[in-house]
Amino acid sequence: MNKLVTLFAAACAVSLGVAAPASAADFPQRPITLVVPWGAGGGSDIIARTLVSPLEKELGKPVIVTNKAGGSGTIGTSFVAHSRPDGYTVGLINNTGLIHQIHYGGLEYTREDLDPLCLFLKVPVFLVVNSASPIKTLDDYVKTAKEKDGALTLGVAAVGGGTHLPIELFFEKAGIKVQPMPFKDGGSGVLTALVGNHIDSGVIHPSEAYGQYKAGNLRVLGVLDETRLEAYPEIPTFKESGYDATGQVWRSFVVPKGTPKEVKDILVKAIETATKDPTYLETLAKIGDLPTWMGPEEFAKYLEEDDTKLLATIKRLNLYNKNVQ
Amino acid sequence: METPDTLGYILAVFQPSCLWAIFVGVFGGTVIGALPGLTATMGVALLIPITFGMPPVIGLNMLIGIFIGGIYGGCISSILVKTPGTPASAATVLDGYPLAQKGQALKALGMATIASGIGGLFSCVVLAFCAPLLASFALKFGPAEYFSLAAFGLAIIASLSSDILKGILIGCFGMLLSTIGSDPIGGVLRFTFGMTGFADGVAFIPALIGLFAISEVLVQIERIFEKNEVTVKLSGSIPSLRELASCWKTLLRGSIIGTFVGIVPGTGSGTASWISYSEAKRNSPHPERFGTGELDGVAATESANNAVCGGALVPLLALGIPGDSVTAVLVGGLMIQGLAPGPMLFTQRPDVVIGIFTGSFIANVFMIIIGLAGVRLFAQVLRIPKRTLVMAIVMFCVLGSYAINMNVTDLYTMLVFGVVGYFLQKYNFSLAAVCIALILGPIAEVNLRLAYIANQGDLTVFITKPISAFFIVLSILSLVWPVYREWKTGKKIPQ
């Protein structure tokens, strides 16, 4: 009988422990789910899985990566937005889920449903042509685009996707129109079509360009970044060539709106330390992504700026609310 | 090319630690492949972070082991319980399952294992000796060529259907289903009825599981209620050398088709097995036996889908361009090892390239050993009473369909396709046609439109480009062939 009472008391205690709102001091008490809204094996997924062990070291609890792929990252982002705001569900979301898709409409979340934690990674964007192409500089590109009057083709991973919108900023500044051609296999599809000479130009990430670029099959016209990349000092930025266009794909951590500030602080601190882990940085160097850091306030401000910058382009391309039926 | 180091690089793979890694990869891959919903792609993706700390040759060979085992493992559940373990093995259901139901499970599994091994080894030979030569072929495929290849694949529907009209009708139905989801060019959502879960279209793997497995479960339940359950006896043995020899043409043809489809980026083992099946049927002296448990059918699909493995590695290692969805994930595996996929890999890291060539051979040998040692064990599944088995299948189907994207919509997709598949079977429509249309419909659509854009609306590009013209001619031939045969023999082709 005594045993039963003890058992019952223990059960009550356990259930109370679960039900009670996590007080910040003892966060985390149980495993944390890291939601990746893209498939296993993709760019975001590799980053998430490399971050698991340094994050676990910081937080002292298991971190479980869950891939919720689909809808260009919106299904997983929506899942995070509607999760319990207790810090146990964290999303690794990139700019398409926080800016682009929101303007395309038809979603089950808004940015108000999410609290930004930090922006920790940038993936630069290259404009490339086949090395046999007569286009040698950005000025050549602009000239050819004008001559071809909208028929110059540009391979992109998706119309309105993470690599397409930044390059459209350049087209705007240069006053040209090109024909985007989306490739289902993303960067590798664009790369194949470029090297096989099926398209005139393409936008891809440095990690995708690397092999063919070093082999001399690709010419990189410019990098859409504020400064030249350390690994590619010979490649000019668009700014240097006289076109004030910058943009990249970035990755960030977010939590559901209403997550207690203390919990968010613990998470941000853990992420900040984890992203300095040497093994993680080594992986980044290998795949060509750039570590960066913006804390919650700075990131929230940046999000607004980036949003305003891209919204005009989205409207110009007739992509605004395209998914509202 | 031939350097004194080559032998050293080959021998390096024969270290116990590397052999062990390959064995674990193949074994794990086989299990992943046999479970519905868990595919080779997913297995490789989930294990990439684990290979980080391993030396490149060991880590990459383990991933390739999973790839080869995963494509093979799919046939086990296809043959035994009509549940394609991976899309690669959907075509194996057509003849493998009837064979198992006739008590010939051991023969079907044995043939599948040996055919997979032959296809795999054939493609490895091609990979090791002609990779740089053939890789440039991968680059010849632009939108026009892809469209024509997909059109050829779709034309197969005609030769697979007993009733051409019904085949075309159900093929069109499949094509219509493949238009659900975001438009491949502009990204505008089509026919999703506001459900975000359909943004990427009908999820292929849940649809496949529904079509084949759930519909069969419904048929079995019907039989249980009608009290005419069929108990499957387990007789026969693995195929004899004579039976193998009689399939040599099919095995060779399947190996060539699989290697070729593997080399072409953007298509994979699913496409290869259907093309190979249809070619085997077309060239068979008795095509009417296909679909009723013909050993040639199993040989055709399994040799082709495993030949894709070596084929898909050709452009990956020679050019840094993935040949199918699994090798696309392997790109990440290479990068995490600090190896930039690209044309320089051969010259900069011959140790890794030769190590992978050798590892792929060993993985195929391990696959044959594991497969042949396991056939009797796998076949025990058939001893489970139907009532229990049916429940277990449903459970695995639900788990598998959900595991892909953790998306509840996928479960509804599976259920709806199960019911649709049940009625399609009842009214003698070909499930294969729906399956082919779902694989190739999207490829055909996007490439037709891309070719149209790239050539400013000039559609002659499909016949002026030689590769494209070749496939257009082939597809016309495969549409005309069944009609011609019907006319010549003066009777309908019974399925």
Block mean pLDDT (10 aa), chain B, length 495: 76 94 96 91 86 90 96 95 92 95 93 97 95 88 94 86 84 94 85 83 92 93 79 78 92 97 90 94 89 94 96 93 89 86 88 95 97 92 88 93 86 95 92 92 93 90 94 90 75 50
pLDDT (0 to 100) of residue A188: 86
User: Which residues in chain A are closer than 8 Å to B265, comparing Cβ atoms?
Assistant: 185, 188-189, 192
Min CA distance, B81 vs chain A (Å)? 28
pLDDT (0 to 100) of residue A16: 46
Pick from A29, A36, A87, A89: which is nearest to A61 by CA? A29
Of A50, A107, A215, nearest to B196 by CB-CB distance is: A107
Pick from A196, A252, A251, A204: which is nearest to A232 by CA? A204
Of A153, A185, A211, nearest to B320 by CB-CB distance is: A211
Give backbone dihedrals phi and psi of B280, rounded to 5 degrees, phi first: -65, -40
Q: Do A210 and B332 touch (CB under 8 A)?
A: no
Amino acid at position B372, single letter: L
Q: Are the C-beta atoms of B351 and B57 separated by less than 8 Å? A: yes
Pick from B318, B381, B448, B414: which is nearest to B101 by CA? B381
Q: Do A68 and B138 touch (CB under 8 A)?
A: no
pLDDT (0 to 100) of residue B3: 58
Min CA distance, B336 vs chain A (Å)? 6
pLDDT (0 to 100) of residue A8: 55
Reported in sequence order, the residue ranges of chain A that DSSP labels E, i.e. its strands, are 32-36, 63-67, 89-94, 114-123, 126-130, 153-156, 179-182, 201-204, 218-223, 249-256, 290-294
Q: Which residue is associated with the tokens 């991933």?
A: B63
Residue B77 DSSP SS3: helix
Of A70, A108, A211, nearest to B340 by CB-CB distance is: A211
DSSP letter for A131, please. Answer: T
Q: Do B265 and A42 touch (CB under 8 A)?
A: no
ipTM associated with this complex: 0.86
Question: Domain spanning A126-223 has what CATH number?
Answer: 3.40.190.10
Min CA distance, A131 vs chain B (Å)? 14
Mean pLDDT by 10 residues, chain A (325 residues): 54 48 74 92 88 94 90 91 95 94 90 96 96 96 95 93 93 94 87 93 92 93 94 94 93 96 96 96 88 96 93 92 80
Q: Do B332 and A182 touch (CB under 8 A)?
A: no
pLDDT (0 to 100) of residue B373: 94
pLDDT (0 to 100) of residue A24: 66
First to last CA, chain B: 51
Q: Are strands A249-256 and A89-94 parallel, antiparallel or unpaired?
A: antiparallel
CB contact set of B365 (below 8 Å; sequence gap of 6+): B117, B121
- B176 CB neighbour count, 10 Å cutoff: 12
CB contact set of B228 (below 8 Å; sequence gap of 6+): none
Nearest-Cα residue of chain A relative to residue B341: A211
Q: Do A323 and B188 touch (CB under 8 A)?
A: yes
pLDDT (0 to 100) of residue A11: 53
Nearest-Cα residue of chain B relative to residue A150: B456
Give the B window 361-420 contacts with A, CB below 8 Å.
405-407
The CATH 3.40.190.10 portion of chain A extends over 126-223
Distance CA B56, CA B340 (A): 12
Q: Do B332 and A42 touch (CB under 8 A)?
A: yes
Distance CA A295, CA B259 (A): 50
Min CA distance, B56 vs chain A (Å)? 13
Of A43, A179, A214, nearest to B342 by CB-CB distance is: A214
Q: Do A214 and B184 touch (CB under 8 A)?
A: no
Q: Are the C-beta atoms of B127 and B313 separated by less than 8 Å? A: yes
Enter the tokens of residue A207.
Answer: 């990690």
Enter the tokens of residue B244.
Answer: 């193998």
Of B143, B196, B335, nearest to A75 by CB-CB distance is: B196
Tell which of A178, A284, A286, A319 to mutate to test the B interface (max B CBs under 10 Å): A286
Q: Do B266 and A184 touch (CB under 8 A)?
A: yes
- A166 CB neighbour count, 10 Å cutoff: 24
Q: Are the C-beta atoms of A68 and A38 separated by less than 8 Å? A: no
Distance CA B15, CA B272 (A): 34
The whole-angstrom distance between residue A206's C-alpha and the CA centroid of its chain comes to: 15
User: Which residues in chain B are closer than 8 Å to A210, comparing Cβ atoms?
Assistant: 340, 342
Residue pairs spanning A and B at CB distance below 8 A? 159
Of A179, A215, A286, nearest to B453 by CB-CB distance is: A179
Amino acid at position B176, single letter: L
Pick from B317, B366, B347: which is nearest to B66 by CA? B366
Question: Domain spanning A31-122+248-316 has what CATH number?
Answer: 3.40.190.150
Enter the tokens of residue B40.
Answer: 């080779």
Of A67, A287, A319, nearest to B336 by CB-CB distance is: A287
Torsion of CA A170, A174, A175, A176, to 10 degrees: -70
Enter the tokens of residue A142.
Answer: 């602009």
Q: Are the C-beta atoms of B29 and B70 separated by less than 8 Å? A: yes
User: Which residues in chain A are closer than 8 Å to B194, comparing Cβ atoms?
Assistant: 106, 325
Residue A48 DSSP SS3: helix
pLDDT (0 to 100) of residue B30: 96
Residue B166 DSSP SS3: helix
Whether cis (ω within 30° of 0) applies to the bond prior to B16 is no
Pick from A77, A69, A102, A122: which is nearest to A249 by CA? A122
- B488 CB neighbour count, 10 Å cutoff: 8
Q: pTM score, two decimals?
A: 0.88
B17: exposed, middle or buried (Cβ count in 10 Å: 0-12, 13-18, 19+) = exposed
Q: Do A46 and B332 touch (CB under 8 A)?
A: yes
